[in-house]
Every structure is written in structure tokens, then in C-alpha cells.
């Protein structure tokens, strides 16, 4: 029996987490972790598989014989723009741990804004004991743009918390118990939305979609007067100059941002210090690396047994 192909691992994750996850992973084949200095100049020809996340720019020129590329996350826009990406199946990471983490972040941000957490933090800094008028979740409509696996899970959990939840996607998805909108109904969707949650993939159609024109169409009838923007999809989908302008002018009342046009976010960005903005460093749905490797093992087993790969990216659609 011929030797099984090694797996190239080129992940810009926490190195210690990757090393720990590799213990016991891929037990029947060699792993080439390019974070290991001893492996950086390794001959990568003749290798079938690579697991990538913000990989080194020379990866594909050094590994010309790949048969499958695995993304280390649910998003693949950064992989699609890597130099020399071969014309082979690109598989995105789909796992319950990733879905759960994203939903936790979305629910947390909605609750932070609902319960006026920043206002209470400011009062606490002044040692001021004061009650604020408190709406409940049922008073707020959360509109989610991007109703894939992540969006649907977040919608279900927000509904459990009592929020009114509506969903929008380019192709309308019928979801029981929730009003759904498609591409031609975007304005109607926005007019009902008090808290806007962005979970869109980055495609030609979604690049810069969250701009001043879109924010101006959001509901101003909610309990806080001005709408809230919450984005954990992709930084390229938002126009940050417009977000800042809308926060300054009151078109937006607040924001929670996990993704940015350029990452890492510049230390000089105003977002860091704005009292009505929560910033997190692209960690809303950080991949569980052990779960990622288990997913890759499962897909390789399918591929080598002649079964179709799952979660293959449609490169024209971009997801």
C-alpha cells in the first residue's frame, strides 16, 4: 500500500494551540507545520492536502501538486485571493463549535446594547447609582443579514432571549417562525431593523454593502431611537469611514465590530476609544483547532474512499 500523503498546516493561529491540537491529529500520516522553522524550506511537491488560514504567500508555488485545500475558518475570501491558488476543491470549515461561538458573540453584543452596559459602566466609573429606563428584548427587532448556518443559529438563540428576529439573504430562505427577506426586499427589511447584525460572506456583491446609505434606511422607531450595527462577518463588507460618520451624526446609536477593513486594527483608530463602540479582534467565531483537524481528517477520508467532499466552495459565488 502506498504511503499516505502528508498534510501541510499553514495556519496563523495561536502557535501553542495549533501544536496542542496536532497531538494525536492525523495519526496515520505526516504533518508539515509551516510554523516550525525546521519545516519552512521543506520540499512540498507531491503533497495532496493543505490546511490554510492567512498562509504564507509562497505556499502554493512550493506545493504545486495539491488535490484539496482546506480553509481554517468558515470564511474563504482571503483564501480565494491567495497568490497561485490551484484549481482544486476548496473546503470551508463547518463545525458546531464554530457556529456556537459565533452565536454566543452575537447574543452577547445584542444583550450588551439592550441592557445599556456601556452607560452603566460610565456611571460606575463615577460611582453614580442611577437606574436607566430599561426596554426588554421584545421591544427590539434584530435583523440578520446573512442567513447561512451561522445566521440561522444566531437567529434561533436571539429568539429564545425574546428578541423579534428577521432575516435577509440574497436568496430568501424560508425559516419557520421568522420573517425572511430576499435581495429585492432589502429596504423593507432595513425599515424594520433596530439592531442590524452582519454575518455576510465577502463577495463582489457584499463588498462595502454596510455604508451610509444602508444605515440611513434602518428603523429609528426602536426603544433607543437610533439603530445599532453589529458586524462579525467580514471587514470588507463595511465602509468604516461611513460607520464613523454615522456614529458621529447619530444615524447610528452604537456599534459592535469584530472585523475590519484592515486587520489588525490600527492603534490610531477612533473605534478603540469611542464610548458607544465595542471592539473585538476578529475572535467572534475563532476556530476550535482540534475540531478543525477532525473535520479535515473526515473530509480526507471521504475523498480517499471516493466519496464527495462536503462544504466545497462555489468560487463564482464566493462561499
Query: DSSP 3-state assignment of 292?
Result: helix
Does the annotation count 282 as an active-site position? yes
Residues whose CB is less than 8 angstroms from the CB of residue 134 and which lie 6 or more positions away in sequence, other chains included: 115, 116
In the predicted model, what is the mean pLDDT of the chain? 95
Query: DSSP 3-state assignment of 155?
Result: helix
Nearest to 74 by CA among 184, 149, 156: 149
CB 230 within 8 A of CB 277: no
Does the annotation count 295 as an active-site position? no
Q: Which of 78, 101, 282, 295 is catalytic?
A: 282
What is the per-residue pLDDT across 82-110, written as a single tens digit (0 to 9) for each?
Answer: 999 999 999 999 999 999 999 999 999 99
pLDDT at 62 over 80: yes
Task: Give the CA-trace dihedral at 233, 303, 85, 94, to 10 degrees.
Answer: 10
Report the pLDDT value the prediction gives residue 31, as an integer from 0 to 100: 96
Report the pLDDT value the prediction gives residue 277, as an integer from 0 to 100: 98
Share of the chain above pLDDT 70, in %: 100
Report the pLDDT value the prediction gives residue 175, as an integer from 0 to 100: 86
pLDDT at 39 over 70: yes
pLDDT at 2 over 80: no
pLDDT at 117 over 70: yes
What is the per-residue pLDDT across 265-314, written as a single tens digit (0 to 9) for each?
Answer: 999 999 999 999 999 999 999 889 999 999 999 999 999 999 999 999 99
Q: Report, as an integer, the average pLDDT of 139-148.
A: 97
pLDDT at 171 over 90: no
pLDDT at 173 over 90: no
192: phi > 0 → left, psi -120 to 50 → alpha, else beta; which? Answer: alpha
pLDDT at 1 over 80: no
User: How far apart are the C-alpha atoms of 22 and 10, rounded to whole Å?
Assistant: 12
Q: Which of 113, 234, 295, 311 is catalytic?
A: 234
Report the pLDDT value the prediction gives residue 319, as an integer from 0 to 100: 86
Amino acid at each position: 500500500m502506498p504511503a499516505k500523503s502528508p498534510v501541510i498546516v499553514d495556519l496563523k493561529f495561536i502557535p501553542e494551540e495549533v501544536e496542542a491540537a496536532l497531538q494525536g491529529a492525523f495519526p496515520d500520516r505526516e504533518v508539515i507545520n509551516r510554523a516550525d522553522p525546521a519545516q519552512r524550506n521543506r520540499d512540498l511537491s507531491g503533497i495532496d492536502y493543505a490546511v490554510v488560514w492567512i498562509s504564507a504567500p509562497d505556499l502554493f508555488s512550493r506545493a504545486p501538486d495539491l488535490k484539496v485545500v482546506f480553509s481554517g475558518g468558515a470564511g474563504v475570501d482571503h483564501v480565494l485571493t491567495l497568490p497561485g491558488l490551484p484549481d482544486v476543491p476548496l473546503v470551508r470549515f463547518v463545525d458546531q463549535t464554530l457556529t456556537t461561538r459565533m452565536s454566543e458573540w452575537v447574543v452577547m453584543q445584542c444583550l450588551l446594547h439592550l441592557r445599556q452596559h456601556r452607560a452603566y459602566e460610565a456611571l460606575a466609573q463615577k460611582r453614580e447609582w442611577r437606574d436607566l429606563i430599561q426596554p426588554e428584548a421584545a421591544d427590539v427587532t434584530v435583523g440578520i443579514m446573512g442567513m447561512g448556518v451561522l445566521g440561522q443559529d444566531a437567529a434561533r438563540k436571539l429568539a429564545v432571549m425574546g428578541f423579534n428576529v428577521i432575516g435577509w439573504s440574497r436568496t430568501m430562505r424560508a425559516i419557520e417562525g421568522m420573517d425572511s427577506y430576499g435581495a429585492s426586499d432589502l429596504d423593507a427589511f432595513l425599515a424594520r431593523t433596530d439592531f442590524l447584525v452582519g454575518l455576510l460572506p465577502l463577495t463582489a456583491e457584499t463588498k462595502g454593502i454596510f455604508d451610509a446609505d444602508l444605515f440611513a434606511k434602518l428603523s429609528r422607531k426602536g426603544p433607543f431611537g437610533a439603530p445599532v450595527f453589529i458586524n462579525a462577518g467580514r471587514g470588507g463588507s463595511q465602509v468604516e469611514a461611513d460607520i464613523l460618520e454615522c456614529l458621529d451624526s447619530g444615524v447610528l446609536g452604537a456599534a459592535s465590530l469584530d472585523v475590519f477593513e484592515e486587520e489588525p486594527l490600527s492603534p490610531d483608530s477612533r473605534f478603540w476609544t469611542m464610548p458607544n463602540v465595542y471592539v473585538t479582534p476578529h475572535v467572534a467565531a475563532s476556530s476550535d483547532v482540534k475540531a478543525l483537524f477532525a473535520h479535515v481528517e473526515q473530509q480526507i477520508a471521504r475523498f480517499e474512499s471516493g466519496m464527495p467532499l462536503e462544504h466545497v466552495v462555489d468560487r463564482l459565488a464566493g462561499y
